[in-house]
Amino acid sequence: MGTPGDIRQEGFNDGVRALAPLLLAVIPFGLVLGVTAASTAVGGLLGIGTSPIIFAGAAQLVTVQLLDTDTSIAVVIVTALVVNVRHLMYSATMAPHFSEWPRRSRFLLPYLLTDQAFALSILRYETTNDPAYKRWFFIGAGMGLWLPWQLSTIAGVVLGAKIPDSLGLGFAIPLVFLVLLIPVVQTRPGLVAAIVGGVVAVAAAEAPYGLGLVIGALVGVAAGVWAERLGQP
Amino acid sequence: MMWVAVVIIGIGTYLTRLSFIGAFGEREMPAWMEQPLRFVAPAVMGAIVLPAVVQSDGALALLPSVNPRFLAAVIAAAVAYKWRNVSLVIAVGMGSLWILDWLF
């Protein structure tokens, strides 16, 4: 057994290393976010600001996209929070592990609880029991994502200021979501949720206050639950 | 106003991440909550992607002459399904859009 310091260093390094391959997907995502923010009414500064303040890519893209339309501010907030409600699930799953950590960590580290840090940590925790290792692995994965995310958003804003609108780069947003969509529609109820969510959002496109996305998402969730119950004997 | 929205979203996001870890005292998530949450991701993504690719100026438009984004998205979806590489999908999708724009 190593000293406590060694365990921490090892955990941190392993977390950073586990996250590194995912950066291939994260960096273009951050660039798209920055480019879009810079070329719309949102502006580069606020675009960059969303990365440390929200630190959740999908919600940030949706926020930037909606702030550029005439969607009311309240609906922008509700929509982004609906996109982020999945974090409740991560929080519940991580809670037993976090409970072994110092109090300050329990309140500070949830800030780093992204899709990626969650998925990597929960996988690694199946094979280790050391609370210090687990904590530093999470910090490594979390920070390993945080810094490149901030930098790629800034790089996107710098690039975006130079790209003409005629290139139609706003289309990159649905393209990013298309890639994120593939793994979550591999089950039949997941596919039902996505299709119904999409079709209802199209049908509700004229809904007041820009509520179309939220309405589509809620009906899609209900359809997914229903499809899963039908599938169970 | 936009900054206020972003800060509120940031606080809300942090609170959902903190929820079961901090405030709810590590209670297990009830099943009625867990099941719908699993479908939030596909439903939200579907609701973002589909309107963005099948509509043009608020109306349904699938023909490449009116809305090249639909066909470009179909091509990009095939690439996404096969490779799941964000950079590749953005390159193919944007490239298709520009070519279709130029063709029609």
Identity of the residue in B21, B77, B89 whose CB atom sits nearest the CB atom of A94: B21
Beta bridge partners of residue B59, listed in sequence order: B56
What is the mean predicted confidence (pLDDT) over A157-170?
84
Mean pLDDT, rounded, for A185-210: 94
Facing B5 at nearest CB: one of A77, A83, A94: A77
- Check if the beta carbon of residue B67 is closer than 8 Å to that of residue B35: no
Whether pLDDT at A217 is above 70? yes
**Residue of chain A with shortest Cα separation from B4:** A73
Our CA-based measurement puts residue B63 at a distance from the nearest CA of chain A, in whole angstroms, of 17
A232 band by pLDDT with thresholds 50, 70 and 90 = confident
Structure tokens at A51: 């990365």
Residue of chain B whose Cα is closest to the Cα of A200: B47
Does residue A1 surpass a pLDDT of 60? no
In whole angstroms, give the CA distance from residue A84 to residue A81.
5
Disruptive mutation site among B45, B67, B83 for chain A (greatest number of A CBs within 10 Å): B45
- Alpha-carbon Rg for chain A, nearest whole angstrom, is 19
Residue A159: predicted pLDDT: 92
pLDDT band for position B26 (cuts 50, 70, 90): low
Mean pLDDT across the stretch B75-93? 93
Residue B60 DSSP SS3: strand
Domain segments of chain A as ranges: 4-169, 185-233
Mutate to test the interface with A, among B13, B17, B44 (most CBs of A within 10 A): B44
Structure tokens at A13: 């390094």
> Which of A59, A89, A206 minimises the CB distance to B34?
A89
**CB neighbours of B51 closer than 8 A, spacing ≥ 6?**
A198, A201, A202, A205, A212, A213, A216
- Identify the residue with better confidence: A144 or B58: A144
Q: How far is CA B26 from CA A54, A94, A109, B19, B90, in A?
A: 24, 9, 15, 9, 40
Q: Is the pLDDT of residue A168 over 90?
A: no
Tell me the residues of chain A between 40 and 99 that have a Cβ less than 8 Å away from chain B: 42, 46, 49-50, 53-56, 58-59, 62-63, 67, 73, 76-77, 80-92, 94-96, 98-99
Q: What is the DSSP letter of B5?
A: H
Residue B93 CA to residue B79 CA, distance in Å, equals: 9
Cα separation, A37 vs A46, whole angstroms: 8
Q: Is A23 on the interface with B (CB under 8 A)?
A: no
pLDDT of residue A161: 84
CB–CB of B37 and A83 under 8 A? no
Inter-chain touch B12–A83, beta carbons under 8 Å = no
Going by C-beta distance under 8 Å and a sequence separation of 6 or more, which residues neighbour residue A43?
Answer: A37
**Per-residue confidence (pLDDT) for residue A25, from 0 to 100:** 84
The answer to whether the Cβ–Cβ distance between B39 and A67 falls below 8 Å is no
Q: Do B18 and A53 touch (CB under 8 A)?
A: no
Residue-level pLDDT at A5: 83
The fraction of chain A above a pLDDT of 90, given in percent, is 78
Asked if residue B64 lies in contact with residue B74, where contact means CB atoms within 8 angstroms, the answer is no
Annotate chain A with three-state secondary structure: CCCHHHHHHHHHHHHHHHHHHHHHHHHHHHHHHHHHHHCCCCCHHHHHHHHHHCCCHHHHHHHHHHHCCCCCHHHHHHHHHHHHCCHHHHHHHHHHHHCCCCHHHHHHHHHHCCHHHHHHHHHHHHHCCCHHHHHHHHHHHHHHHHHHHHHHHHHHHHHHCCCCHHHCHHHHHHHHHHHHHHHHCCCHHHHHHHHHHHHHHHHCCCCHHHCHHHHHHHHHHHHHHHHHHHHCC
Q: By mean pLDDT, which of A110-124, A137-151, A217-231, B13-27 is the weakest?
A: B13-27
Classify residue B84 as left (phi > 0), alpha (psi -120 to 50) or beta.
Answer: left
Residue B72 with chain A: CB contacts under 8 Å:
171
The string of pLDDT tens digits covering residues A80-123 is: 999 999 999 999 999 999 998 999 999 999 999 999 999 999 99
Query: For chain B, what percent of residues have pLDDT higher than 70?
Result: 97
The band of A198, judged by pLDDT with boundaries at 50, 70 and 90, is very high
Residues of chain B in contact with residue A171, where contact means CB-CB under 8 angstroms, are 52, 69, 72, 93-94, 97
pLDDT for position A225 = 96
User: Is A159 in CB contact (< 8 Å) with chain B?
Assistant: no
- Over the stretch A17-72, which tens digit does the pLDDT of each residue have? 999 988 988 898 999 999 999 988 999 999 999 999 999 999 999 999 999 988 89
Round the average pLDDT of chain A to a whole number and report it. Answer: 93
Average pLDDT (B71-88) is 93
Torsion of CA B15, B17, B23, B29, to 10 degrees: 130
